[in-house]
């Protein structure tokens, strides 16, 4: 059974014209892009999306950053998509991320780290539903 995960190309990467290169990384790894949309989050929407981090010291800065410009939200589908995407992304801090990962190649710092990816099946389902209606997702396995 193919798995789905939510990916976000964050404002710093969209602003630097990296959408194409980053989506290519997912495709090269065999993940299917089954939904995609350019979105500008309000501060309230960013606060809702990252509510799990509301008690962290970086919550205010993170949500301001995530609402500072357009983002590319997408749903990736494939075997083990959640873990595979996390591996392609690399560690949260680009300085700690493995070579050739998206964050190592294009992340600016621990906050402006180019991409978001769901971390578990439950969060993936919630995050996908935050941005997409079921009929906006085209299964690659029909």
CB of 120 to ligand IDP, least distance (A): 10
Between 21 and 119, CB nearer to Mg ion:
119
Instruction: Count residues near ligand IDP (CB under 6 A).
Output: 9
How crowded is residue 133: how many other Cβ atoms within 10 Å of its Cβ?
Answer: 9
Between 67 and 113, CB nearer to Mg ion:
113
What is the per-residue binding string for ligand IDP in 40-69, x denoting contact by CB under 6 A?
Answer: -------------x----x---x-------
Q: Does 113 bind ligand IDP (CB under 6 A)?
A: yes
Which own/partner pairs from 30-34 qualify as long-range (CB within 8 Å, at least 24 positions apart)? Answer: 30/78, 30/84, 31/76, 31/77, 31/78, 31/81, 31/84, 31/85, 31/88, 32/76, 32/77, 32/78, 32/140, 33/74, 33/75, 33/76, 34/4, 34/75, 34/76, 34/77, 34/137, 34/138, 34/139, 34/140
Does residue 116 carry a catalytic annotation?
A: yes
The two tokens of residue 53 are 């981090």
CB of 53 to ligand IDP, least distance (A): 6
67-96: which residues touch ligand IDP (CB under 6 A)?
A: 92
Between 47 and 116, CB nearer to ligand IDP:
116
Residue 138 binds: one of ligand IDP, Mg ion, none (C-beta under 5 to 8 A by kind): none
State the catalytic residue, choosing from 116, 117, 118, 124.
116
Non-local CB neighbours of 17 within 8 Å, separated by 6+ positions: none
Give catalytic residues, as residue numbers: 116
Positions in the binding site for Mg ion (CB under 5 A): 119
């Amino acid at each position: 059974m193919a798995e789905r995960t939510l990916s976000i190309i964050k404002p710093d990467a969209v602003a630097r014209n990296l959408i194409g290169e980053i989506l290519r990384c997912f495709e090269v790894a065999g993940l299917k892009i089954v939904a995609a949309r350019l979105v500008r989050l309000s501060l309230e929407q960013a606060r809702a999306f990252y509510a799990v981090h509301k008690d962290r010291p970086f919550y205010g800065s993170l949500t301001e950053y995530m609402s500072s410009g357009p983002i590319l939200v997408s749903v990736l589908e494939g075997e083990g998509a959640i873990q595979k995407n996390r591996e392609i992304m690399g560690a949260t801090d680009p300085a700690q991320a493995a070579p050739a990962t998206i964050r190592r190649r294009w992340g600016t710092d621990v906050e402006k780290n180019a991409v978001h990816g769901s971390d578990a099946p439950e969060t993936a389902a919630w995050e996908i539903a935050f941005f997409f209606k079921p009929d906006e997702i085209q299964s690659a396995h029909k």
